[in-house]
């Protein structure tokens, strides 16, 4: 019952968001049709990215959208400050160079989305490995001082096994002494 209630509440919320978006688009289309024309045609890569990005966070959409906006914004400024008409907007969207600039920017955004994660991942891997090395060193120091019993029966990592055998032998000698 509760789950069904939560699901129905979230679907109501989504519909509300959609209604708001449609209202805003409608209002903007009514108030600034030139801007809407440029955005509609120039922002197509962002819309595509939004459609193919199935993740909840929509990082691809943000990535493509951000740089797509970089490509669109100079043309928006042009119509806002020079000739705010549908004709001027149509001229811009029919200009191959302008459209290419907008889409290239979006493409650059996509390239960023594809190329940055491996770099970051590699970087994080290096950080993790160095942390592991640091922790192993700390563990070895503890074991050297307190013996292997300090691990509470947890098997030492493979790289420490040979070393630990030597130490056990040492302990045995001490015991006999």
Partner 1 sequence: MAERPLETDDDAGTVPPADMESPTVDAGLDVPPQSQRGDVRGPVILRQRYLVDSGAPLPALDSPSAMAFNVEDQHDFGRKMFGLICTPDLPTRLDSMRFLKNDLPRGILPFADWDVVYWPPLGQNTTVVIYDQPLGGRVVTRLADKDTKITEYDVARHLVEPLLTPIQYLSETGSAHRAIRADNLFFMDEAMTEIVFGDFVTAPPGFDQPIMYEPIERAMTTMSGRGRGTVKDDIFALGVTIGVLVLGHNPMAKVTDQDQVRRRQELGSFTALFGETRIPIPMLEPMRGMINDDPDGRWGIAEVSNWLSGQRSKSPTRKSRTKADTPFAFRGHGYNNPKVLAAQFCANVPEAARVIREEAFAAWVLRSLGDKKRAEAVKNTVQNAHFYKDGYQGSDDYIVAKIAIILDDSAPIRYLGYNFMPDGYGPLVALEAAQNGNQEIAAQLLSRDIPAMWLTLQDPPFHDTPMLNKTFAKLKGFLSINDPGYGVERLLYEINPSLPCLSPVLQTSCVVTIEHLLPALDLCASHSDTSQLPVDRHIAAFIAARFDEDIHPHLKAIASAKQEISIIGVLSLLAFLQWKLRQPAGLGLCSWVGGLLGPVINSYHNRKTRKQLEKDVPVLVRKGSLTELFDLVDNAERRRTDRRGYMDAQREWLDAEQEIREIQGAGDERIIKAERTGQQTAATISVVLAMSEVAILLLVKAV
Q: Please give the residue ranges that form the binding site for partner 1 (CB under 8 A).
A: 57, 59-60, 62-67, 69-70, 73-74, 77, 81, 109, 112-113, 115-121, 124-125, 128, 131-132, 135-136, 138-139, 142-147, 149-152, 154, 157, 171, 174-177
Whole-number Cα distances in Å, 104 to 68, 127, 144: 8, 34, 60
Nearest to 105 by CA among 141, 72, 57: 72
* Min dist. Cβ of residue 46 to partner 1 (A): 11
- CA dist 148 and 163 (Å) reads 11
- Tell me whether residue 19 or residue 150 sits nearer to partner 1 (CB atom): 150
Q: For partner 1, give the closer residue by CB, 37 or 63.
A: 63
3-class secondary-structure state, position 56: coil
Q: How far is the CB of 118 from partner 1 (least distance, A)?
A: 7
Output 144 or 165, the one with its CB closest to partner 1.
Answer: 144
Distance CA 80, CA 33 (A): 11
């Amino acid at each position: 019952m509760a789950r069904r209630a939560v699901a129905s509440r979230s679907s109501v919320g989504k519909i509300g968001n959609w209604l708001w978006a449609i209202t805003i688009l409608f209002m903007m289309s009514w108030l600034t049709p030139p801007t809407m024309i440029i955005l509609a045609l120039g922002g197509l890569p962002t819309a595509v990215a939004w459609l193919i990005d199935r993740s909840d966070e929509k990082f691809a959409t943000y990535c493509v959208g951000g740089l797509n906006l970089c490509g669109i914004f100079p043309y928006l400024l042009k119509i806002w400050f020079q000739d705010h008409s549908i004709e001027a907007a149509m001229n811009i969207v029919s200009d191959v160079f302008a459209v290419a600039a907008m889409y290239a920017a979006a493409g650059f955004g996509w390239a960023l989305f594809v190329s940055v994660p491996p770099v970051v991942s590699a970087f994080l891997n290096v950080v993790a490995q160095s942390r592991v090395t640091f922790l192993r060193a700390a563990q070895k120091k503890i074991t050297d001082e307190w013996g292997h019993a300090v691990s509470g029966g947890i098997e030492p990592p493979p790289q420490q096994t040979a070393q630990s055998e030597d130490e056990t032998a040492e302990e045995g000698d001490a015991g006999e002494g």
